[in-house]
Structure 1
Amino acid sequence: AAMAITLEQILGDRLAEGTVNIPEGTVPRKAGHKIKFVEAEHPIPSESGMEGTKQMLDLVSELGSRDLVICLISGGGSALMPLPAEGIELGELQEVTQLLLKSGATIQEVNAVRKHLSAVKGGQLARAAYPAKIITLIISDVVGDRLDTIASGPTYWDLTTYRDAFSVLEKYKLTEKVSPSIIARLRNGVRGAIPETPKLGEECFRNAYYKIIASNADALEMAVEAGRAHDLNVHVLTTTMQGEACQVGEHLARVAKAVCQAGKPIPVP
Structure 2
Amino acid sequence: MTVTVARHGVPGPDAERFAERLSEQVAGRVDRLERSADAIDFAFSTALMALQAHCVGDPEAAKLETWEATVNAMQLGSALFAVTGASEGTVECRINGKMRTLPRIGPQSFADAGNWLSAFWLAVVCREQQRMTQLCEIPLERLRSPEGQYEEFMYHWVDVLQTYWLQRPGLVDKLIAAIEGSNPEVARSVPRDLLQGVLYPPINLFYHFVRKHEEGFSPALVEALELHKAYWTLNEEREADIDGTLALGPLAMACLAYDGGLPVEVESGYLPKYLLEHGWLGEFPT
TM over 0.5: no
Q: TM-score, normalised by structure 2?
A: 0.29
The higher-RCO structure (CA 8 Å, 6+ apart) is 2
Identify, as 1 or 2, the structure richer in helix. Answer: 2
After TM superposition, the score normalised by the length of structure 1 is: 0.30
Q: Please state which structure has a larger fraction of its residues in strand.
A: 1
